[in-house]
């Protein structure tokens, strides 16, 4: 029996967007939702978010579905909305946009600030997305390779298929596997990217650019490849399970990690800039697990655990310095 749109929307709010691909596709195919979404997508830039208009749009959708205005939605519901999420899937989680490319159906999942989402692909592969990430993948895989595109941070548990390699394509590198579990940290526009292997084997092809020569590298379990425009390419041995532990509890967790690594994740999680000199960021290490703390509280903890000071220099820009 086909799931009703109102039941899907109810599930969306109760479980923070943990819908199946079929349910998400059905919701995006709902005429009123689909028309509203695409109209607003064209009208609004990615940088500008009109919170008043978001509320009007969402309530308009709800009124169409249920015939009445929804008043139970907390105001914080809108706080971390993005222009691409204003139609329905704005619940600090994910939006799935379905696009038709000829006969091929393509899904696009975006996660907002301070949110994570999991996706199961057609071949059974499970993907956990961290904050501020975008995953593009087909409804069904066809051809010799299983290809997806990523901007952001994601952990993949790939279903084995020796005849159809699984390829994660990013702006900086392509990661090819047959069946394994690994993490990719590669946001469009950033100067650095990482691939961390937990099990199996992956081949990482670093794409050539004006600043960096390309190359192909095969990783073994507990190895991390780091790409940097300034420092080049490096391979290090780590505890991959601990390094990617965020995937398990759906919360950010760090175990004896450098401040440099931690700040990169905090910037993506909170959507704010945190500036710190490289020699300081690479010197100090911390262990902690985040719950629902504010960025101020996290930086306060860091500053009380090491001889560091932090200060806010604008609405969304912090700086961390050593105590003098």
Q: What does the pLDDT look like over 15-39, one tens digit per residue?
A: 444 455 566 556 555 555 555 554 5
Question: 138: which strand partners?
Answer: 106
**Alpha carbon of residue 290 to chain centroid:** 17
pLDDT 10s digits, 253-310: 888 889 999 999 999 899 999 999 999 999 999 988 888 888 999 999 899 889 999 9
Burial of 226 (0-12, 13-18, 19+ CB in 10 A): middle
pLDDT at 174 over 50: yes
Dist CA 146 CA 166 (whole Å) = 5
**What does the DSSP assignment read for 178-220?**
SS-EEEEEE-TT-SEEEEEEEES-EEEEEPP-SSS--EEEEE-
- Alpha carbon dihedral 293, 299, 305, 311, in 10-degree steps, equals -150
Joined together, the tokens standing for residue 293 give 């703390």
C-alpha closest to that of 266 among 249, 248, 288:
288
Report pLDDT for 91: 34
Average of pLDDT values for 59-70?
Answer: 46
Of the listed ranges 47-56, 246-255, 305-314, the least confidently predicted one is 47-56
Domain boundaries, the chain: 1-91, 116-248, 251-322
* Fold entry, domain 116-248: Jelly Rolls (2.60.120)
pTM over 0.75: no
Helix (H) or strand (E) holding 275: strand 273-276
Cα–Cα dist 313/72, whole Å = 36
For 251-322, the fitting CATH number among 3.55.50.30, 2.120.10.30, 3.30.1380.20, 2.30.30.790 is 3.55.50.30
Nearest-angstrom CA–CA distance, 171 and 192: 11
Mean pLDDT of the chain: 76
Cα separation, 194 vs 55, in Å, equals 37
């Amino acid at each position: 029996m086909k799931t009703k749109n109102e039941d899907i929307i109810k599930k969306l709010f109760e479980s923070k967007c943990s819908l199946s691909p079929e349910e998400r596709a059905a919701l995006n195919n709902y005429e009123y939702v689909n028309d509203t979404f695409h109209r607003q997508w064209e009208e609004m830039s990615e940088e500008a978010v009109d919170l008043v208009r978001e509320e009007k749009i969402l309530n308009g959708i709800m009124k169409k579905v249920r015939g009445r205005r929804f008043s139970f939605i907390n105001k914080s519901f809108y706080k971390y909305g993005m222009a691409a999420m204003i139609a329905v899937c704005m619940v600090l989680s994910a939006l799935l946009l379905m696009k038709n490319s000829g006969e091929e159906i393509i899904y696009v999942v975006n996660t907002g600030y301070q949110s994570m989402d999991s996706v199961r692909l057609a071949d059974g592969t499970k993907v956990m997305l961290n904050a501020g990430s975008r995953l593009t993948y087909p409804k069904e895989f066809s051809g010799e390779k299983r290809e997806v595109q990523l901007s952001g941070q994601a952990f993949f548990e790939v279903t084995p298929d020796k005849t159809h390699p699984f390829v994660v394509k990013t702006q900086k590198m392509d990661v090819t596997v047959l069946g394994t579990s690994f993490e990719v940290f590669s946001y469009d526009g950033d100067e650095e990217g990482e691939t961390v292997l937990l099990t199996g084997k992956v081949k990482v092809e670093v794409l050539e650019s004006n600043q960096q020569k390309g190359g192909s590298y095969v990783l073994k379990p507990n190895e991390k490849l780091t790409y940097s425009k300034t420092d080049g390419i490096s391979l290090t041995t780590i505890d991959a399970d601990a390094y990617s532990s965020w995937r398990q509890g759906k919360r950010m967790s760090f175990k004896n990690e450098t401040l440099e690594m931690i700040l990169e994740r905090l910037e993506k999680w909170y959507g704010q800039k945190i500036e710190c000199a490289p020699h300081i960021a690479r010197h100090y290490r911390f262990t902690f697990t985040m719950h629902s703390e504010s960025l101020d509280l996290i930086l306060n903890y860091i500053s009380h655990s090491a001889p560091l000071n932090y200060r806010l220099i604008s609405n969304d820009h912090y700086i961390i310095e050593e105590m003098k």
